[in-house]
Each structure stands twice: as structure tokens, then as C-alpha cells.
Amino acid sequence: MFRPQENRFEELKTTGKLPSPFGVALEIMRLTQRKDASAQEIAQLVQIDPALTGRIIQFANSAHIGARRPVVAVLDAISLLGTNTVRQFALSLSVIQGNLRGACGSFDYRAFWADSLARALSIQAIATRDRIFAPEEAFTCALLSEIGQLALASVYPDEYAQCLSECNAEDDDALIACEQARFSIDHRRITLGLLQEWGFPSVMLEALALKYSDATPLASESTRAERFAAQLRLATLLGRCCDADTDVRSALLPQIVAMAQTLGLDEPDLEELWDQVAQQWRISSRFLSIPVGDLPLIKPAEADQAAVDPKPAGVKIILLNTGFKKVSELENLLTADGHQVLMADDTDKAIQLAVTEKPQLILAVSDKCPISGIQFCKALRASELGRQIYLIVMTSAPDDELLVKAFDAGADDFIVTPVHDRVLIARVRGGQRIIQLQEEMARERHEISRYARELAIAKRKMEVMAMTDSLTKVPNRRYAFARLDEEWSVWRRTGRPLTIMLLDLDHFKKINDFFGHQAGDQVLIHTAKVIRSMLRSTDVVCRLGGEEFIVIAPNTDTAVAKTLSERLRSDVEKHQIETLKLPSPVTISIGVAVSTNQTVNENDLLHRADQALYRAKHAGRNTVRFYSPQAAA
């Protein structure tokens, strides 16, 4: 549990000014703290507040929830969302409604909630791709992850206004230092204290603490809290873009791209994620009553540029002019329709612009015979990039033969001038619809490819899990017999000797009986680690079940097997678990069998090792015995 400077936090609570739920939301929180609280009881409480009822039903019907049919009843909404989500949603609504404005002059309440909403929508979009918590629960956590700032603005409006005036709003460290100096506590610790009071899961609180500490980058095997902390950092960076000016967004964008990459999100993924945030921006702001402006667009592919250029409402067009007199009027017409127009006076410049600017449409115009435009079509379509661009040839030469040549060269449309402005714009918009369909198809292909990668990874994980012992994390019995079959085939083909060793923990039942199964599990895990650490890279240890292990050692003759087996026995005896006070050390007995021409098959080899293990047990345990025909007889 987190203990955020408890005395100071308790003092702040006594002021009665900390952000807190009230009314129905408070009663819902109290009710859901009971283990026997039913969805019916919660629904009855929610229905007391008509506004809350409407918003919960609206939330349940929102696109990202994915209800199969429209939700019209509160009880159905609660069943779909879950009691945790409803509790946190009601809490969020209550806190927001009571704190949309306040007495702290330097605290921008609208910007605070807009930033919080963008952060919450971002983590929700991230959670749909990499689910650590339910997207709805992640949404609430991110929405309230800086609530400590609002708390200080509420308890100390004048003092906190001075603190904000002295610090750069983007410099978190300076703000934390100023808060500590003035109030002997900072907004992060207050946030953790409030969320703990409101019943947020401890893993979420741990993740928030890690996020605040700017911990080291994600490792390959990160904990649940560490991964959620990384998601929160990315969501926070995206949230800061919502109200930031162009220069601030330009500075944030490289950090966003880098953080997204640590979570396995590439640039198309990030654009799709932000599109998802933008789609929910207005909807969520309405049912949470947060006043917001328009959400800015971000383009990760331009992270290396000095600024992020806003994306035009239309498409990016190269206007290739090879002798069209009214080209300025045409440029103005396209610009007025919301398109970004780039001018090229010859085909070489048009090709160069196509490579560097990656337009969606090229309009090649000429008053004369458009031979240069047709040649340009052929040159453009010869490249992969050029085949993706929508190409219109426009000329005043009404010649059917030229029209056929233009389409043969790769043109998508052919316009004969003079043409009415409305007709020209309609033709361009027709091309724009095709461009949009192509982009949607490209996104779908990318999504299918991403799903295929995820499926392959999931399949591989399942295969590994199916072949791994869940307790000791060494290969299991299934893997052992499959591997033994493979190695037996290698021995039959090459003649290289194959050794197997059966290992059994001595007096293991007594450990379970006297110290419990938890102690027995610790012994099994520890012994598996010791054995694996002592083996060569070509050897493998597997757990057959209970306290029995098998070591498969390819290309191992009797002399090497004697050294290896004795080393395993002595190392297990030497490396004991210090935390377990066992009356006698943990030891193992080992039975060894080496393949010979008299060995019938792999099952025969295994049977011989089992006979040797039986002899080792009856020889007093903690010893090694090799199979011999005389002893077996």
C-alpha cells in the first residue's frame, strides 16, 4: 500500500476541500466496497440520479465498449461495464462536475480537464491494443492521474497560483520542487493518496508511482505495473498535445514516437491510435461535461522536422503545369476547396516533389497536346510510389486517341478544358474518394499484418506454454519424450552416444508433509534452477512430474556422463535454500543409462535409467548409479 506522507495528507483531508465524490457517486462507492453488493442494488442507486443514469447508458453504448445490441436499461449497462467500471465512472463524473471551475486564478481548469480527457482517451486506445487493465478502468485511472494538482488548487488557491506563476508549466520537476517547498507535499503524492482512498487497485497505484519516477525503459520481461506505467507515460505525452501550440507539439512528437516504439507501436499504429482518440474526443467531452476545443492532428512521420505541419482538410496535390495559361486560377480553386497544392513547372520537378512530398493526387495540365503529361504518366507508374498516386491529365486538346494513350500510360482520369469549376472540383473529389478507399485498404492490410504477427506470437507462446512446466519453468514431460525421440533418431543415424539421467529428490514427501506444499514447491523450483545452471548448452532438463526430473545429454559417453552426473548430485547438495530451515539438506538420487548397440529403443533406454535410479535409492540415496546388465539381472 502507498503511504503518501500520511500526516500531511491527513491534514489536507481535514480541510474538507480535497476533490471528492458526492451524492449518488459517494453512495455507489460505499455500496461497491461491500463484497455482497449486487448489480441490482447499484442500478437502483444509479437511477436516483437521472443525469448519471443517462451518461452511464450512453457510455455503455459508445463504440469502444462494443455492445452487441443497444443498451437501454441501467442494469444491462452495469452488467456490460462491470461494477468496477461503473464505480470509477461515477466517481469521475462526480469529481469533474464539482471542479470545472475554482478560485485558483493561475490554474486553467478547462485545460486541466481537456489534458486529462486526452490522456484518458489515449490510454483507452492503447489498452485496446495491449490489454493490461480493461480499457474503461485504464481510462478512469489516466483521467484522474494528476488530480493532485486540482487538490492543491482547491485547498490553497492563492498559494498555488503563486507556485504556478513561478514555474514553467511544462517543467514537472520544478513544479514538484515548488510544491514540496510550499506545502510539504506534492501533487503526485496527493494523487496516490486520493486514488488509494477511492479504492483503486494497488497495481494501478504502483504503475502510477513508476510513471511519476520516470523509471528505466521497459525490459523484455516487464511486470504488469511496469508495462502499464509505460502506457501511462505515452498517454501523458499524447495528452499534452491536446492544448499545446505547434512548437510544444513539435518538441513532444519525437518523445511520443520513441515511447510508442518501446510499446511495440510503429508510426502507422500511432496514427491509428490518435485517430481513435480524435473520434472519441467530442463524444466523451459531452457526456463528461468537459469543455474542449478541436483536437490537433499529429503526424509521427514528421517527428524529425522542426515543426508538425497541420494536415489539410483535402488531399496533397502536385499541379504539373506544362503550358496551361490559367494555372493560377486553378491553383486558387483547388486551395479554396481545402487541398494543399504544390506547383511544378516541369516533369523533373514533379517527380522530385512526388518522391519528397508523397502527394495523393497529381494534376497534369496543358493547353496543348499533353504528350509530356503522358510521358510523365509512364515514368511515374514505373515506380512503386508512383503507382499509388491518383493521376489526372487535363488538356484543351479534345482528341480520343490522346485520351486512350493517357489511360494506357496510367492516367486515372482525363479532363478536357474548358470545364466548369464545379465539374472540375467534382472530378477531383471523385479521385479523393478513391484515394480514401485506397488508404483504408492500406490501413486494413496493415491491421491484418499486425494481427497475423500477434497471432504468430500468441501461437508461439502457446506452444512454449504447452511444453513448459508451469511451476519450475523447465520443459515438461511432453517435451521430454518428444526431445528423447529426436535425440534417439540422431543416435541411430550418427552413432553419437546418447545419455539420459533420471533424477529424484530424496525424502521429498517428508518436506511436503512437515513443511507444506508451498515449501515443497520452493524446493522443486530451486532444484530445477540449480540443475539447469550446471548443464551444458546441448543438454536439457525436464520435469517428468512430482519430484522426478530427466536430463537428456546428447553426444555424451559413459566417461563424460560420470563427471556430469556426479557434478549435478554434489551441486544440488551444496546449493541449499537459505530461507528454508530444513532438518537435512535437499539431495537427489540419479540413475544413468548410456545408449549401446544392445539398446532396443528410446523406451528401453529410459527403462534402463529407471532401473539405475532404483538402485541409487536403495543404495542409501544422494548417490549416482549407472545401468549395468549384471545389476539388472
Q: Do the domain assignments include residue 287?
A: yes
Distance (Å, rounded) from C-alpha 479 to C-alpha 550? 11
Domain boundary residue among 252, 271, 302?
Answer: 302
Shared domain check, 377 and 515: no
pLDDT at site 307: 37
Prior bond of 418 cis (ω within 30°): yes
Is the same domain home to 485 and 620? yes
pTM higher than 0.75: no
Domain membership of residue 434 (yes or no) is yes
Q: Does any domain span residue 3?
A: no
**Residue 327, H or E segment:** helix 327-336
Tell how strand 316-321 and strand 540-545 pair up. Answer: unpaired
Q: What is the pLDDT of residue 291?
A: 65
Q: What is the pLDDT of residue 570?
A: 94
pLDDT value at residue 310: 40
SS3 54: helix
Is 365 within 8 Å of 322 (Cβ atoms)?
A: yes
Q: Distances in Å between the alpha carbon of 573 and those of 166, 552, 588?
A: 65, 21, 8
Residue 328 belongs to a domain: yes
Indicate if 366 and 346 belong to the same structural domain: yes
What pLDDT is stored for residue 218 in this prediction? 61
Three-class DSSP category at 549: strand
DSSP string, 307-326: S-PPPPSS-EEEEEESS-TT
| One domain for residues 270 and 384 | no
Based on the fold, state whether residues 169 and 268 are members of the same structural domain.
Answer: yes
Is there a single domain that holds both residue 43 and residue 167?
A: no
DSSP H or E segment with residue 498 = strand 498-505
User: For residue 384, is it within any domain?
Assistant: yes
Q: Report the alpha-carbon distance of residue 408 to residue 398 in Å, rounded.
A: 17
Q: Are residues 515 and 558 in the same domain?
A: yes
Q: Does residue 236 share a domain with residue 120?
A: yes
Tell me if 15 is assigned to some domain.
Answer: no
Q: What's the CATH number where 492 sits?
A: 3.30.70.270
Give the pLDDT confidence of 447-457 residue by residue, as tens digits: 787 777 777 76
Question: How many distinct structural domains can be found in the chain?
Answer: 4
Which residue, of 98, 122, 137, is where some domain finishes?
A: 98
The reported pLDDT for the residue numbered 369 is: 60
d(CA 428, CA 407): 17
The H or E element containing residue 592 is strand 588-594
CATH number for position 422:
3.40.50.2300
3-class secondary-structure state, position 177: helix
Query: Which pLDDT score is estimated for 1?
Result: 39
620, 512 Cβ separation under 8 angstroms: no
Q: How far is CA 18 from CA 10, 191, 286, in A?
A: 11, 11, 25
- DSSP letter string over 348-415? HHHHHHHHHH--SEEEEEESS--HHHHHHHHHHHTSTTGGGSEEEEEES---HHHHHHHHHHT-SEEE
Domain co-membership, 164 together with 287: yes
Residues 329 and 296 in one domain: no
Please choose, from the candidates 297, 307, 214, the residue with its C-alpha nearest in 3D space to the C-alpha of residue 262.
214
What is the domain-level CATH number for residue 205? 1.10.3210.10
pLDDT of residue 215: 53
Whole-angstrom distance, CA of residue 118 vs CA of residue 287: 14
Q: Could you tell me if residue 565 is inside a domain?
A: yes
DSSP conformational letter for 61: T
Q: What is the mean pLDDT of the chain?
A: 82
Distance CA 119, CA 232 (A): 8
- pLDDT tens digit sequence for 300-312: 554 444 333 443 3
Is 469 domain-assigned?
Answer: no
* Domain enclosing residue 251, as ranges: 106-302
Is the CB of residue 528 less than 8 Å from the CB of residue 494? Answer: no
Judgement on whether residues 86 and 135 belong to the same structural domain of the protein: no
- Consecutive sets of 10 residues in the chain, 633 residues long: mean pLDDT of each? 56 77 73 75 78 73 61 78 76 77 83 84 86 83 88 87 78 84 87 85 88 65 84 86 71 83 82 77 68 59 43 74 80 86 87 85 78 79 84 81 85 86 88 85 79 74 83 92 92 92 93 87 94 90 94 94 94 90 90 92 94 93 90 58
Who's near 14: CB < 8 A, 6+ residues apart?
none
Exposed, middle or buried: residue 5 (CB in 10 Å: 0-12, 13-18, 19+)? Answer: middle
Degrees to nearest 5, angle at CA 554 with 548 and 557: 100
Is 354 in the same domain as 430?
Answer: yes
The Cα 21–Cα 29 span in angstroms is 9
Q: State which of 246, 268, 302 marks the end of a domain.
A: 302
